[in-house]
């Protein structure tokens, strides 16, 4: 979210709003009932102070917005009957400019419909009281422009805040994906190192014997080489459960091939664990032939398992896991 100094905006808006209250105070002596005029100024100042100074966040509570509308409806009813004599081009109608500030602040704080309704009510009352000329002499046009500026500012802040929020979310996702990729690479590196470490004794035995191994040692070397190949090509398809199922299948004479082509890179760990459990269970059920497990990229499924046998024309088992 965009952070704007609420204190700074509140002070500037408050000073501008109180300026109209000061104009009204200077004009009190010309009213037929100064006490009522002072009361009008008081409720206006209260509305300005509470609107700009009390609430945190961009959106103020709805009761305050409705209270501002009440003030907008009430001030013309209080002040207009107090004005005597010529009033054109004077500050007798100070409340019009003041309500422009109040309603503009209402629009900025996410209650634009109420702000415009209040503007229309004030304009109607002024025209009803002073005729069409009041549109120009009382400040109605300026009030409407202030509210329009408040609405534009409110919409601009909302859109900018939404854009920033989207960018922050995108950055968070990219950082999460990068962290996951790094973790996967480290895990694969550790697996490869572990496989190499476990193969080292057999490699030393091959060198010492000059390649003359017993049948048991040859079988162990074959399984070790296949397991190392799985760690390199199988990547995310290999966990402890799959590793055990593949080793047992090879001991039974089943040829097993694991190929991770990137289909699991963006999958949730829980989903991957569930699918690999299904893969291991399927491998456990194959007694002969060849099993190929792939994690293809760009497909509607994440993992495929195909079991084939020389005695059949098609796969004896085919799984596609979403």
Closest C-alpha among 86, 91, 122 to residue 104: 122
d(CA 89, CA 155): 33
Please state whether the predicted TM-score (pTM) of the whole model is above 0.75. no
Q: Which residue has the tokens 């697996």?
A: 191
CB-based contact 107:150 (threshold 8 Å): yes
CB-based contact 230:280 (threshold 8 Å): no
Question: Quick one: pLDDT band at residue 176, thresholds 50, 70, 90?
Answer: confident
Question: Quick one: pLDDT band at residue 204, thresholds 50, 70, 90?
Answer: low
d(CA 53, CA 109): 12
User: Mind listing the pLDDT tens digit for each residue in 84-98?
Assistant: 766 666 677 888 988
Which token pair is 322?
A: 């979403």
Closest C-alpha among 159, 135, 155, 137 to residue 147: 155
User: Mind listing the pLDDT tens digit for each residue in 304-321?
Assistant: 999 998 877 778 888 888
Residue 194: pLDDT over 70 = no
d(CA 136, CA 127): 10
What's the confidence (pLDDT) of residue 86? 65
Residues whose CB falls within 8 Å of the CB of residue 87, separated by 6 or more in sequence, listed in order: 93, 130, 137
What's the confidence (pLDDT) of residue 305? 92
161-170, 172-181, 232-241 — which is least confidently predicted? Answer: 172-181
User: Mind listing the pLDDT tens digit for each residue in 223-276?
Assistant: 777 888 888 888 888 888 998 999 999 999 899 999 988 888 878 888 889 999
Residue 170: pLDDT over 90 = no
Half-sphere CA count of 232, side-chain side, radius 13 A? 9
d(CA 237, CA 262): 10
d(CA 198, CA 63): 72
Closest C-alpha among 231, 246, 233 to residue 279: 246
What's the confidence (pLDDT) of residue 36? 92
Q: What is the 3-state secondary structure (H, E, C) of the chain?
A: CCCCCHHHHHHHHHHHHHHHHHHHHHCHHHCCCHHHHHHHHHHHHHHHHHHHHCCCCCCCCHHHHHHHHHHHHHHHHHHHHHCCCCCCCCCCCHHHHHHHHHHHHHHHCCCHHHHHHHHHHHHHHHHHHHCCCHHHHCCHHHHHHHHHHHHHHHHHHHHHHHHHHHHHHHHHHHHHHHHHHHHHHHHHHHHHHHHHHHHHHHHHHHHHHCCCCCHHHHHHHHHHHHHHHHHHHCHHHCCHHHHHHHHHHHHCCCEEEEEECCCCCCCCHHHHHHHHHHHHHHHHCCCCCEEEEEECCCCCCCEEEEEECCCCCCCCEEEEEC
């Amino acid at each position: 979210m965009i952070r704007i100094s609420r204190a700074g905006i509140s002070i500037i808006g408050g000073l501008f709003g109180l300026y109209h209250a000061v104009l009204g105070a200077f004009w009190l002596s010309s009213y037929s009932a100064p006490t009522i005029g002072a009361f009008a100024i008081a409720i206006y100042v209260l509305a300005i102070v509470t609107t700009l100074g009390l609430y945190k966040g961009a959106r103020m509570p709805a009761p305050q917005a409705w209270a501002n509308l009440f003030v907008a409806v009430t001030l013309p009813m209080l002040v207009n009957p107090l004005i005597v004599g010529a009033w054109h081009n004077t500050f007798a109608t100070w409340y019009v400019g003041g309500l422009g500030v109040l309603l503009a602040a209402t629009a900025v704080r996410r209650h634009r419909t109420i702000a415009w309704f209040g503007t229309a009510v004030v304009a109607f009352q002024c025209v009803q009281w002073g005729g069409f000329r009041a549109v120009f002499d009382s400040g109605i046009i300026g009030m409407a422009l202030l509210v329009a500026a408040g609405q534009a500012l409110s919409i601009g802040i909302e859109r900018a805040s939404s854009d920033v929020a989207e960018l922050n979310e995108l950055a968070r996702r990219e950082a999460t994906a990068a962290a996951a990729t790094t973790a996967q690479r480290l895990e694969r590196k550790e697996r490869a190192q572990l496989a190499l470490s476990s193969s080292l004794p057999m490699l030393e035995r091959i060198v010492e014997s000059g390649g003359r191994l017993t049948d048991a040692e040859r079988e162990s070397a074959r399984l070790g080489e296949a397991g190392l190949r799985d760690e390199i090509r199988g990547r995310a398809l290999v966990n402890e459960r799959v590793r055990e199922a593949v080793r047992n299948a090879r001991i039974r004479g089943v040829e097993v091939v694991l190929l991770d082509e990137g289909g699991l890179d963006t999958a949730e760990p829980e989903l991957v664990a569930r699918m690999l459990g299904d893969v291991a269970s399927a491998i456990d059920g194959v007694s002969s032939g060849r099993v190929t497990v792939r994690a293809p990229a760009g497909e509607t499924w994440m993992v495929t398992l195909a079991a084939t046998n020389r005695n059949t024309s098609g796969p004896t088992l085919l799984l596609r896991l979403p």
